[in-house]
A = this chain, B = another copy of it.
Amino acid sequence: MSVEREFAIAIVGGTGNLGTALALRLAAPGVKVIIGSRDPEKARAVVDSLRPRIAHGMIEGYANQEAVQQAEFVVIAVPYEGHATMVAALKGQLGGKTVIDAVVPLNKGRPFVPAAGSALREAQEILGGEAPVIGALHNISAVDLQDPASSLGDVLVCGDDAGAKKNVMELIRRIGARTFDAGPASHAYVIEGLTGVLIYLNRKHKSKHASVRITGIGE
């Protein structure tokens, strides 16, 4: 699977802040975006509200499982509380697709390490190899994503499948972010947890834009 040909990306749990913001950024350069929700009516309502802001590009709304069927990439963007349930519900329909897990384990806004080691490892355990799971997009400010004029922080991408990781990095570069191969799936707890630190920094500095940049390599 290459990102050079026409492809579609489904965002499950896509009616939240990250999901809708990501949809806007991805649809802009012409990626077909399918917003998934447990409630297909809600998915369609969100799509209707986004459409006026999308000059080109296709965006549609479906129930999560229908959304996934039509896509090569599946972004999981639910709150952590719904993560395991969502991944389990999609199991059996992900063959040949790449899962992008953007979920951050938070407890009252504070990061923690779940029993599986990270949200990504939890998804890997549930899926048992059915599809590669790549961690990405955790640290991007949804507020900055929503504003096409805002520059984005760097996106740290991790996972154990080198080909899938490369495809995801190519995909994310389309939304205007720098991407870095940040290592294997075992690094996911760091990248997920970093969002908790950024939430803390935002709160302390009354900002919504805290993000990270990598310096000192290849510059």
How distant is A71 from chain B, measured CB to nearest CB, in Å? 29
Instruction: List B contacts of A183 (CB < 8 A).
Output: 196-197, 200
Partner of A197, one of B111, B191, B209, B216: B191
CA A57 – CA B216 in complex, angstroms? Answer: 29
The closest CB in chain B to the CB of A191 belongs to B197
Instruction: Judge if A144 is at the interface, Cβ distance under 8 Å.
Output: yes
Measured between beta carbons, the chain B residues less than 8 angstroms from A214 are 201, 210-213
- A204 at interface by CB-CB < 8 Å: yes
Most chain B CB atoms below 10 A, which of A182, A210, A216: A216
Contact with B along A184-219 (1 / 0, CB 8 A): 101101110110110011101101011111111110
Within the complex, the shortest CB–CB distance from A55 to chain B, in Å, comes to: 27
Q: How far is the CB of A106 from chain B (nearest CB, A)?
A: 12
Q: Is the CB of A201 within 8 A of B213?
A: no
Contact: A194 with B190, CB < 8 Å?
A: yes
Residues of B within 8 A of A190 (CB): 111, 190, 193-194, 196-197
Contact across chains for B213 and A212 when beta carbons are under 8 A apart: yes
* Closest B residue, CB atoms, query A216: B209
Residues from chain B with Cβ under 8 Å of A217 in the complex: 201-202, 205, 207, 209-210
Sorted nearest first, the 6 A-B pairs with minimum C-beta distance are: A209-B216, A190-B193, A205-B217, A183-B200, A207-B217, A213-B213
List the interface of chain A (C-beta within 8 A of B): 110-113, 117, 141, 144, 153, 156, 180-184, 186-187, 189-191, 193-194, 196-197, 200-202, 204-205, 207, 209-218
Q: 30 interchain pairs (CB within 8 A)?
A: A110-B186, A111-B190, A112-B186, A141-B216, A153-B215, A156-B197, A180-B201, A182-B200, A183-B196, A183-B197, A183-B200, A187-B193, A187-B196, A187-B197, A190-B190, A190-B193, A190-B197, A193-B193, A205-B217, A205-B218, A207-B216, A207-B218, A209-B215, A209-B216, A209-B217, A210-B216, A211-B214, A211-B216, A212-B214, A212-B215
